[in-house]
Amino acid sequence: MNNYRIAIIGSGNIGTDLLIKCMRSPLLRCVAFVGRNLNSPGMAKAMNLGVPCSDQSIQYIIDNADKIDLVFDATSARDHIKHAPILRQLGLRAIDMTPAKIGSMAVPAVNLDEILREDNINMVTCGGQASIPIAYAISRTQCDVEYIEVVSSIASKSAGPATRLNLDEYIATTETGIRKFAGVERAKAILNLNPAVPCIDMQTTVFASVDNPDIETLRTEVVNIVDKIKVYVPGYQIIVGPIFENGRIVVMARVRGLGDYLPEYAGNLDIINCAAIALAEEYAKQEAAR
Amino acid sequence: MTSAQSRRVLVSDPTLRDGNHAVAHQLGIGQIASYCRAADAAGVPIIEVGHGNGLGASSLQVGLSAVDDKTMLTTARENLERSKLGIHVIPGFATIERDLKAAIQYGVDVFRIASHCTEADITERHIGFCRGAGKTVFGVLMMSHMADNDVLAEEPRKMQNYGAEGVILMDSSGNYLPVDVSERVSYLLDNLEIPIGFHAHNNLGMGIANSVAAIQAGALMIDGCARGFGAGAGNAQLEVLVAVLERMGYETGIDLYKILDAGDLAEAELLERVPSISSTSVVSGLSGVFSGFLKPVNRVAKEFGLDPRDIFFELGKLKVVAGQEDIIIEVAKKLKG
């Protein structure tokens, strides 16, 4: 059954965690783990798992395109901008884990069906994956939503150098995602890094300014959408709300990861990877049905 | 430390920024204009203006500003002749594209780029951008009481490497005693080539004493607010600080009578009440939680029928950082059972 062929570019934390999730999937088969340095810890892991590895980056994909169905690009926004046209020309589907924002934004709990027609998919951001389903539930149940704000707190240790350097892109991409999926004109994203030891679990709070809140309807909608998220992110949990407090709707979610390559507290990294795997599996089913 | 050069201290006045915490970020245009004129007349070198958490921080999380960043900064600019206009910038709230580029257009001179004391690397691009634009840039380490010596050895140095022209330690919780300040400032002086600054909070009544300790240890930059107008129990009181520095023989360039007048004006026009060390503020300082949490903690405590002191101690155990105001509700819910 697991014959949908996946290649992963980028051998960092995200790429390596995706690899482990691919290995577990009954539908996916990782046929290449590609980076720039065969000595990275991720490469060592892949070699241990018996996955074909290469340090030739995108060139390996070009040379082996006929053996691949889908590429996870876990490099950087700058690299994905170069990779995207190449992958398109090769006729390969791409799931972009970077904040390059080239393809259509995907949040499986919200737009799984419509996104399957696309060939380049952007996974928004970790905070976006955690907050957009809630923002979407708010916009579907409240009639006068003017503004939505999402605040995420993550453990310092779960934010690598790229995340830290790309904080502004994280904010801009998350805000674009909130505006698009919740259909609001104004959105704001805030990110806090917390160094507490033991590490804190990833948390996201969604706020909305609403004049006449309908909390009961929202509660039902939140339960429904959380059920959908839990299918691919089992550690997703609402810890507060929805409540109406100080003129704001407040919903807080906590995300514990699966603890694959990344520790359980790094729910921020886990949720974006789980979402990407969920999409790849849908493609696999679609392909199998043909 | 006897040369004329070393007896000069650079005073920065965040009354119109930190004070905004005390009035739920509701300072208006008229208040900004009149205080700017008064502090400018007194010769205050740097006047910081904005939302309590700085540029781009007006939010449901921390509180919505009565006046947007553009209006606050352009109003201040129009009312300053000699003083430089400064802002507080926390990456994670403010971005280069949305906020910093605009702030440069509005005529901001001094950019203080801040992070939690362990997270200096999130300031790299923002410091680099502002330096590249030819602006004066200082790095700010918030909640510095949570930094051990390893952190103090690394994080300020990162800011120096990114291009910061000085590093300011903030006692964001008002948790330090003078000996803590002396140790940290001395440690930084031994490790850095750039000047060190200090920003005191008054939760344990140490605002002025800690500022004196910082200067005696060799800090060259110091923050003070008119009447202590700032988050929680307030900051080091600017007028007192200027008088104390004068008595110690330090040069600030600030006219004593005129800064006393600015303090009177602030009390009459800006403050809802003169900052005092409330019972909750003492606990806030002891628990090592950001002083700016006072208003939201009091509000949530009332809503949930809890003792705000219990909330502060619980937040302290969780080691929350500035910007994590949403956790107050989670803690209250947990305490409520």
Please check whether the two domains, B7-269 and B279-336, share a CATH topology: no
Residues B93-116: tens digit of each pLDDT: 999 999 999 999 999 999 999 999
pTM: 0.93
Of A171, A172, A245, the CB nearest to B329: A245
pLDDT tens, residue by residue, A140-150: 999 889 899 99
Q: What is the mean pLDDT of residues A156-171?
A: 87
Kindly calculate the radius of gyration of chain A based on its CA atoms and give it in whole angstroms.
Answer: 19
- Domain definitions of chain B by residue range: 7-269, 279-336
Asked whether residue A290 carries a pLDDT value surpassing 90, the answer given is: no
Rg over CA atoms, chain B: 18
Query: Which pLDDT score, from 0 to 100, does residue A141 have?
Result: 95
Question: Fold for domain B7-269?
Answer: TIM Barrel (3.20.20)
Q: Do A195 and B119 touch (CB under 8 A)?
A: yes
Which tokens go with A178?
């909130």
Q: Where are the domains of chain A?
A: 4-123+270-289, 126-266
Helices B279-287, B294-304: axis angle to 10 degrees equals 110
**Is it true that A4-123+270-289 and A126-266 share their CATH fold?**
no
Residues in contact with A220: Cβ distance below 8 Å, sequence separation at least 6, in sequence order? none
Active site residues of B: 21
Q: What is the mean pLDDT of residues A39-57?
A: 92
Q: How confident is the model at residue B2 (pLDDT cuts 50, 70, 90)?
A: very low
User: Looking at chain A, which runs of residues are DSSP E strands?
Assistant: 4-9, 28-34, 53-54, 70-73, 93-96, 104-105, 120-122, 147-155, 186-194, 202-209, 236-245, 248-255
The Cα-based distances of B8 to A76, B111, B258 in angstroms read 47, 21, 19
Nearest chain B alpha carbon to A203: B327
Instruction: For domain A4-123+270-289, give the CATH superfamily.
Output: NAD(P)-binding Rossmann-like Domain (3.40.50.720)
For chain A, what is the mean pLDDT?
93
Distance CA(A6)–CA(A2), nearest Å, equals 10
Cβ contact B321–A209 (<8 Å)? no
CA-CA distance, B33 to B35, in Å (whole number)?
6
Of B61, B146, B299, the CB nearest to A207: B61
Could you tell me which residues of chain A have a Cβ less than 8 Å from any Cβ in chain B? 147, 149, 151, 153, 156, 161, 164-165, 167-168, 171-172, 188, 190-196, 200, 203, 205, 207, 209, 239-240, 243, 245-246, 248, 250, 252
The pLDDT score that the predictor gives to residue B5 is 47
Length of chain A: 290
pLDDT digits (tens, 9 = 90+) for A205-244: 999 999 899 999 999 999 999 999 999 999 999 999 899 9
- Assess B321–A contact: CB distance below 8 Å, yes or no: yes
CA-angle at B330, arms to B327 and B333, nearest 5° = 150
ipTM: 0.92
Band of the pLDDT at B3, cuts 50, 70, 90?
A: very low
- Residue whose pair of structure tokens reads 């209250």 in the numeric block: B332
Pairing of the two strands A202-209 and A147-155: antiparallel
CATH topology (fold) of A126-266? Dihydrodipicolinate Reductase; domain 2 (3.30.360)
pLDDT in tens, A120-129: 999 999 999 9
Q: Is A126 a catalytic residue?
A: yes
Place of tokens 């340090």: A55
With a CB cutoff of 8 Å and minimum separation 6, the contacts of B242 are: B11, B224, B252, B254, B256, B259
| pLDDT value of position B6 | 54
A21 half-sphere exposure, CB direction, 13 A CA radius? 30
Instruction: Select the CATH number that applies to the domain covering B279-336 from these four: 3.60.70.12, 3.30.1540.10, 1.10.10.60, 1.10.8.60.
Output: 1.10.8.60
B298 touches A: beta carbon within 8 Å? no
